Amino acid sequence: MVPRSLRNRETLLLSGSEISQILGLEDYFDLVENAFRLYAEDKSLGTGLLHVDTENGEFHIKAGGLVTEKTYLGLKLNGGFFQNQKRFGLPNIQGIIVLCDGEDGSPLAIMESVQITINRTGATTAVAAKYLAKPDSKTVTICGCGTQGRVQLKSLIEVLPIERVFVVDADREKAGAFAIEMAEELQVEAVTVDSIGEGLETSDVLVTCTPSTSPLIEPENIPDGLFIAAVGADSPEKQELDVRILAQAKVVVDLIDQCKNVGELHHGIKAGVISEEEVHAELGQVIIGTRTGRTSDEEVIVFDATGSALQDTAGAIAVYERAVSSKHGNNFNFFS
């Protein structure tokens, strides 16, 4: 028999379109910054990551909890199948987030994950740039011209005075369309280039957001003062930076326990060019001031962004609480 206390405990179901009505990109900046702050202040339940490869793609399972006025735990299951669009007309990334009450374990909500993932990833780069990029950064190179590249640029413009964008993608037609769209929408100069190195000489910021499994950029191309947001390496085989860059730069990570297993740091440790102890800081430590951010205009700083359940859970909490208040979504009772 189902306990009486569970008979009326409903789970809220939310679609991607409903989430986009509830939270906009601008809402994620404070959410993710606060999530990293809570983690650094030991006000979280910790995080976990599981990665499963399949013949045509991969699954990421990320879980983590935050202690706010209430305690919540979020679990995200994302499937990354990067030929889906071409083969089946399906999204390359699909998934869900399950948000639970951290005190009694009740499933509070099940929601589409991609809207939150896209926006929290861009917002996290912006938060990192606020602390780690030169504050007068005007030129950025974006490598990877998909949805995430767009969100990365839109996010950076919120925290830096970006005026010029160099755009590069393996698909030059895609890069051209990106440049035209972003120039018009964001009122910036956008220039397509054939290689990352072409734009870096005059760039203040580099964002790599690709599914690459081999280095896209070498240390010879890195100018003094560059801030690099390495966003793509979220599984063990992915890599965007030559490991020698890590040996020469100040390295800040989202979560060290995660980056040493799946991020750019993972490849650097494996190659023997950097150790876990040589990592300068986690982002949360910089946010709360226990570690320094940028200390000169000359230093090169790498932000190894593997993407964590902290960000997902922060977004899911905000979506859930606002959805309950605004009566979005549909309720379902799993225990009836």
Angle among Cα 320, 66, 308 to the nearest 5 degrees reads 90
CA distance 127 to 283: 9
> What is the rounded distance in angstroms from the CA atom of residue 287 to the CA atom of residue 304?
15
DSSP 53-72: E-SS-EEEEEEEEEESSSEE
Is residue 326 classed exposed, middle or buried when 0-12, 13-18 and 19+ CB atoms within 10 A define those classes? exposed
Which residue is associated with the tokens 């509070």? 108
Q: Let me know: does 118 contact 144? Beta carbons within 8 Å.
A: no
Q: Which residues pair with 107 in a beta bridge?
A: 100
Residue 59 token pair: 């699954």
> Is the separation of the CB atoms in 306 and 233 below 8 Å?
yes
Per annotation, catalytic residue among 43, 70, 76, 138: 76
Distances, alpha carbon 65 to alpha carbons 48, 104, 220, in Å: 10, 13, 41
76 is catalytic: yes
59 and 52 Cβ atoms separated by less than 8 Å: yes
How many Cα atoms sit within 13 Å of 86 on the Cβ side? 4
Q: What are 260's two structure tokens?
A: 């040493």
Start-end of H helices in 64-221: 84-88, 114-132, 147-156, 172-186, 196-200
- Could you list the active site residues? 76
